[in-house]
Amino acid sequence: MHQDDTLATFCAAFNKLDKSCTELLYELYTRDVTFIDPFHRIEGLKALEAHFLKLYENVTECHFAFHDSLRVEQRAYVTWTMQLRHPRLAGGNLIAVEGCSQLTFSPAEPQRVCLHRDYFDAGAMLYEQLPAIGGMVRWLKRRVAS
C-alpha cells in the first residue's frame, strides 16, 4: 500500500495541536467542517477552534500514535492510539485510548478535511478515569463481557 502524502501531512499536523497553536486547524479543515466524536457534534471552523481551545485548556499532554490508514478518493480512515494526561482524569496519569478517525477531504479543497468523525470508547477515555464512577464502569464492563 502506498503512502498518501495528504493524509500523512494531516496526521503530522494534528499531532502538533495544543492550546498554543490551534491556528493549525485553519490549514487542516474547511470553513464549513463538521467534527463528530462520542461527546460532540461541531459545525464550522470557528466553533471547532473554540472547542479545541477549551479541550486543551487543562490537558498537560496529548499525543497520537497513528497506525493503519486507508484512503479511497476523498474518504480516509486512520487508526490511532491517543495518549492523554489531564489532572482530573486517572489521578493525572497517562491514559491510552484506541480509536479510529473517518476523514472526508473536500473536493473543492483536496488538502483540507470537511468531515472528521472519531470513533473511540468514551468509557475508557473518560468515565473509567473518574474517581467517583470509574470502578463502577469497569465492573459493569467486566460483567457485560462475561
pLDDT, mean of residues 23-37: 96
Confidence of residue 139 (pLDDT cuts 50, 70, 90): confident
Helices (H), ranges, the chain: 5-14, 25-28, 45-56, 122-125, 134-145
Extents of the domains making up the chain: 5-121
Length of the chain equals 146
pLDDT confidence band for 2 (50 / 70 / 90) = low
Mean pLDDT (whole number) for 87-103: 89
Residues 102/83, Cβ–Cβ less than 8 Å? no
Residue 1, pLDDT score: 44
CA–CA–CA angle 93, 95, 9 (5° rounding): 125
Residue with cell 487543562: 58
Q: What is the DSSP letter of 19?
A: T
What's the confidence (pLDDT) of residue 128?
63
The three-state secondary structure class of 14 is helix
Distance of alpha carbon 74 from alpha carbon 95, whole angstroms: 32
Give the separation between CA 119 and CA 109, rounded to whole angstroms. Answer: 24
Q: How confident is the model at residue 13 (pLDDT cuts 50, 70, 90)?
A: very high
Handedness of CA 85, 90, 94, 95 (dihedral sign): negative
Give the confidence band of 134 by pLDDT, cuts at 50, 70, 90: low
Half-sphere exposure for 105 (CA within 13 Å, toward CB): 21
Q: Which of the two residues, 100 and 55, has the higher pLDDT score?
A: 100
Check residue 21 and give its pLDDT.
Answer: 84
Range 61-80 average pLDDT: 95
| Mean pLDDT, the chain, integer | 88
Q: How much of the chain, in percent, has pLDDT values that exceed 70?
A: 86
- Please compute the mean of the pLDDT values over residues 43-66 and round it to a whole number: 93
Nearest to 119 by CA among 96, 98, 100: 100
Q: Which CATH number is associated with domain 5-121? A: 3.10.450.50
